Amino acid sequence: MNMTRTAMLIALMTVMFMSVGYLLGGSGGMMIALLIAIATNAIGYWNSDKMVLRMYNAQEADERTAPEYFRIVRGLAANAGLPTPKIYIIHEDQANAFATGRNPENAAVAATTGLLQRLTPEEIAGVMAHELAHVQNRDTLTMTITATLAGAISMLGNFALFFSGNRENGNNILSIIGTVIAMIVAPFAAMIVQMAVSRTREYAADRRGAEICGNPLWLASALNKIARSAKTTVNEEAEHNPATAHMFIINPLSGRGADNLFSTHPDTDNRIAALQQMAAEMGFSHSAPSSRVTPEPPSGPWGNHDDQGSTGFKGPWS
């Protein structure tokens, strides 16, 4: 189903490219737009994950550089029956994370230093399990391709004035219409992405992630902390690249808390409530902390260690 949705999305955006190209430059503009669309689709399929990771200056981590983080992801991947994805760290104060890659064999997960510092090992496990659920459900292909295509569509808006200003007949009605359409497409490119990627996938990834890590309340508690971090800490890179916002576990953009038509994510309180209900059905009695609770002191990127070197983290894969 996700593969079908991705194919339809690619076809729709390709038609959009060609239509705007025709309005801006006639048949020649349409052919140029077609070539750009073909190139963008190819890049989006094969390299969009690398582009997104590079965009956020993500650095690959391993068992030597980030042992606890690596161990958590590796254990969760084994629980889910997935190959261990490549693991990245993003040097960003805002607590957040995302997954990318065209399939489980070519997947990657990335967490910010803010997330690794503010969350407990159990909460990190809940977040990484959610991201692995996206990998298992093959949501990541749709996420990465839409981010790449939306950026390319925005490019049409950036060049709209250039094309119209260099047209011999500036009064050509098609030229004027094309310019207006392209200029409107640019600021709404992120919204196109938000509508294209169904928000119900977040609920599905929450539920599957809770199954992978073994405790829905770990993820519920993590979502609460990440949502607060997103409201108080600006992610400058995400603000400059809003078309990638849908890839994160919580919307990284400021001022987007409402569960409305153009939101990239469902309301966090609704997600937490669903996880708490799931926890109750599984027999867990403790509630996730409310948004009024003071955050716990940072536990460090790999958790607190006792005198024996143990982190105190008892995951279901231990």
Beta-carbon count within 10 A of 200 CB? 9
pLDDT, residue 258, reads 45
Tokens 């550089």 identify what position?
Answer: 65
> Which residues on adjacent β-strands are paired with residue 31?
none
pLDDT, residue 312, reads 38
Domains of the chain: 2-29+44-144+197-282 (3.30.2010.10)
Residues labelled catalytic = 131
Annotated binding site for Zn(2+): 130, 134, 202
% pLDDT > 70, the chain: 62
Please spell the DSSP secondary structure of 151-203, one letter per residue: HHHHHHHHHHHHHHHT-S-TT-HHHHHHHHHHHHHHHHHHHHHHHHS-THHHH
Give mean pLDDT, residues 266-281: 94
Give mean pLDDT, residues 167-193: 60
Annotated binding site: 130, 134, 202
For the ranges 55-64, 175-184, 189-198, 255-264, which has the lowest average pLDDT? 255-264
For the ranges 45-59, 121-135, 162-176, which has the lowest average pLDDT? 162-176
17, two tokens: 């490219």
Mean of pLDDT over the chain = 78
- Of the two residues 257 and 18, the one the predictor is more confident about is 18
Q: What is the pLDDT of residues 196-235, one digit of tens each?
A: 566 678 999 999 999 999 999 999 999 999 999 999 999 9
Burial class for 98, CB neighbours closer than 10 Å (0-12, 13-18, 19+): buried
Full strand arrangement of the beta sheet holding 97-100: 59-61, 86-90, 108-112, 97-100
pLDDT, residue 189, reads 59
Residue 39 confidence class, pLDDT cut points 50, 70, 90: confident
C-alpha to C-alpha distance for 193 and 142, rounded to whole angstroms: 10
| DSSP character at residue 104 | G
Q: What is the pLDDT of residues 232-269, one digit of tens each?
A: 999 999 998 887 888 899 999 875 444 455 566 888 99
Give the pTM.
0.74
